[in-house]
Amino acid sequence: MNKDLEFPENFLWGAAQSAYQTEGHNYNNDWYKFEQIKGKIKNNDTCGAACDHYNRFDSDFELLSNLNQNAHRTGIEWSRIVPEENEVNHDEIEHYHKVFESLKKHNLTSFVTVHHFTIPLWFEKKGGFLKRKNLKHFEYYCDILAKNFPEVEYWNTINEPGVLPLMGYMSKDYPPGRSSFLAFLKVYNNILRAHGIAYHKIKEKNPKSQVGIVKNVPYFYQKFYGKFWKKRVVSFFDNVYNQIFFDLLNNGRVSLNPLIREKCLKGTSDFFGINYYDALYFKFKLGIPYGMDFMLPEDTRFTQMGWGIYPRGLYENIMRVKKEFNGPIYITENGIATLEDKERQSFILEHLLAVHRAIKEGADVRGFFYWSSMDNWEWAEGFEPRFGLIGIDYETQERQIRESAKMYGEIAKQNKISANLLEKFKLNA
Ligand code: IFM
């Protein structure tokens, strides 16, 4: 028999998005350039006007607030604020002031991301994050944000620090489309340093803002690996991709990566943001790992992205962060790309159950942000995947409130998942 599942008082219920994926009309960064190359993006889509959120942010926030959300995660586009080296665009600073005012007006607690994959073209020309000496330009950008936006309540430094190095410098799926292990390592290291820079710059000017890292924590599914050797391999990759962040925040050094030993990274997160989507497993031939897949047990359901749905991984990840990181946790992204909104509703409920279980077992989770507030630009996958609580018609820019948005809004309003809802979806806590 199900009971209502209450969430802690003052729990933040929101949705997440990034600047580039929703704003539209961004023509001065590496992604814009990358999209113009035929074959790089699915269906040769280009981001263009995206959701035209740049012009519609106020009415979009009104929709989210009417859906009972009380927090919102968005981002700032670096190439708007610093369009050329050492040049600040004050009109764009004004624009983002209006964005944050609008969040406030709609009672949405602000979570703002400093860096979410895109870099200005001038920064790319200088070698981007590949060159350590370029970090001074990132510092300049952070300084401008810190000086100009004291109204932001929560800052996210770098969105998913491992993704740009991996997708841009190993798998070639993101700009600059390279494949070099050495470049990957350098960029990874510099992005971790950039996280430290953003943290210190913002705290120096706004000691009261809460600043934290947002890390995608894929769950490396272990069940298939009976053999000692395979287990070691999986845990090695888990260390490289996940564990190093805890070492970094706890000790300012990364044992697996001797290049990173910087005291200034110690303690640089007031909270830990978890992005969670899926579980992965390694494929082995003759004991040698040769690839990764999303497939899990036979009854696994898949998303439009081909990702296997595994809510338990979110629970496991929260419990791991609880053990390794001493501070509040926010689920800064969790969501599904699907054309079936019923599937989105189940996904949300199943993952919220996982969050609730972790809270019940002592995890200090203070908020949940569904990815994404609205359908948007899904990088190399273009516009095909539909992640949104709000559907977008890209021809007309019409917004369509999905049933999942209303269901999520009811949960947010009541600050609980009702027993009736669980029954309706045949779920047990
Ligand atoms: O759309 C992305 C987002 O930019 C970062 N996290 C994962 C999302 C879904 O792929």
Q: How many domains does the chain have?
A: 1
What pLDDT shows up at residue 225? 64
Q: Which of 75-79, 269-273, 291-295, 358-362 has the lowest mean pLDDT?
A: 291-295
Instruction: Report, as an integer, the average pLDDT of 181-201.
Output: 93
Report if residue 249 sits inside a domain. Answer: no
- Give this prediction's pTM: 0.96
Using the mean position of ligand 1's atoms as its centre, give its distance from the Cα of residue 1 in Å. 36
What pLDDT shows up at residue 257? 58
Tell me whether the omega of the peptide bond preceding residue 235 falls within 30 degrees of 0, making it cis.
no
Report if residue 284 sits inside a domain. Answer: yes
Q: How confident is the model at residue 254 (pLDDT cuts 50, 70, 90)?
A: low
Report if residue 51 sits inside a domain. Answer: yes
Report if residue 386 sits inside a domain. Answer: yes
Report if residue 174 sits inside a domain. Answer: no
Ligand 1, atom nearest to 21 Cα: 4
Report if residue 82 sits inside a domain. Answer: yes
Using the mean position of ligand 1's atoms as its centre, give its distance from the Cα of residue 159 in Å. 9
Sheet holding 279-285, edge to edge: 219-220, 279-285, 288-293
Place of tokens 């273009």: 382
Q: Find all residues with CB under 8 Å of 77, minimum gap 6, and list them.
A: 19, 20, 23, 26, 29, 118
Report if residue 123 sits inside a domain. Answer: yes
What pLDDT shows up at residue 292? 81
**Is pLDDT at 396 greater than 60 in this prediction?**
yes
**Highest mean pLDDT (candidates 102-116, 187-201, 211-225):** 102-116
Q: How confident is the model at residue 243 (pLDDT cuts 50, 70, 90)?
A: confident
Using the mean position of ligand 1's atoms as its centre, give its distance from the Cα of residue 376 in Å. 10
Q: How confident is the model at residue 270 (pLDDT cuts 50, 70, 90)?
A: very high
Ligand 1, atom nearest to 216 Cα: 6
Q: Find all residues with CB under 8 Å of 404, minimum gap 6, and list them.
A: 341, 344, 345, 348, 389
Using the mean position of ligand 1's atoms as its centre, give its distance from the Cα of residue 313 in Å. 17
Residue 372's domain comprises 5-129+153-161+210-226+271-424
Using the mean position of ligand 1's atoms as its centre, give its distance from the Cα of residue 226 in Å. 32
Domain of residue 121, CATH code: 3.20.20.80
Report if residue 12 sits inside a domain. Answer: yes
Q: Which of 167-181, 187-201, 220-234 has the lowest mean pLDDT?
A: 220-234
Question: How far is residue 167's CA from residue 144's CA, in Å, rounded to a whole number?
Answer: 28
N- to C-terminal Cα separation, the chain = 9
H helical segments located in 170-310: 181-205, 228-238, 244-251
- For residues 271 and 153, is the Cβ–Cβ distance under 8 A? no
Q: Whose CA is nearest to atom 10 of ligand 1?
A: 378
* Ligand 1 binding pocket includes 334 (Cβ within 6 Å): no
Question: How far is residue 34's CA from residue 30's CA, in Å, rounded to a whole number?
Answer: 6
What pLDDT shows up at residue 281? 82
* Ligand 1 binding pocket includes 303 (Cβ within 6 Å): no
Q: How confident is the model at residue 196 (pLDDT cuts 50, 70, 90)?
A: very high
pLDDT tens column, 49-82: 999 999 999 999 999 999 999 999 999 999 999 9
What pLDDT shows up at residue 229? 81
Q: How confident is the model at residue 206 (pLDDT cuts 50, 70, 90)?
A: very high
What pLDDT shows up at residue 130? 97
What pLDDT shows up at residue 9? 98
- For residues 212 and 270, is the Cβ–Cβ distance under 8 A? yes
**Is pLDDT at 91 greater than 70 in this prediction?**
yes
**Is pLDDT at 296 greater than 90 in this prediction?**
no
